[in-house]
């Protein structure tokens, strides 16, 4: 449940960032006419969001691998018992 909640929070942050950054009237620099002076969309926030999505996916995959190892070693759903068994 903790992994799923972290994924939901990450998706919420990305969705909030996209909502705040979206504005009407911007044109794509590659597809728009070069000769006119128009407001162009900045590609840097788009690259940052793509990077955040990829990093979030890789962190989630690593956490799931850790949970699979814990589930193999401890066949219980009680977090207190898992923490008690894995403390040095």
* Helix 2-21 vs helix 43-73: crossing angle, to nearest 10: 180
How confident is the model over 11-32, as a mean pLDDT? 77
How confident is the model over 1-25, as a mean pLDDT? 84
**78-to-2, 7, 35, 81, 85 alpha-carbon distances in Å:** 13, 22, 65, 6, 11
Each domain of the chain, given as residue ranges in start order, spans: 2-85
How confident is the model over 37-44, as a mean pLDDT? 73
User: Where residue 36 falls among pLDDT bands split at 50, 70, 90?
Assistant: low
């Amino acid at each position: 449940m903790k992994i799923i909640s972290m994924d939901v929070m990450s998706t919420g942050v990305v969705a909030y960032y996209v909502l705040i950054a979206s504005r009407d009237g911007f044109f794509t620099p590659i597809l728009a006419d070069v000769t006119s002076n128009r407001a162009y969309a900045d590609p840097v926030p788009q690259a940052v969001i793509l990077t955040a999505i990829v990093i979030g996916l890789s962190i989630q995959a690593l956490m799931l691998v850790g949970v699979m190892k814990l589930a193999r070693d401890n066949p219980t759903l009680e977090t207190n018992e898992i923490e008690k068994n894995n403390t040095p």
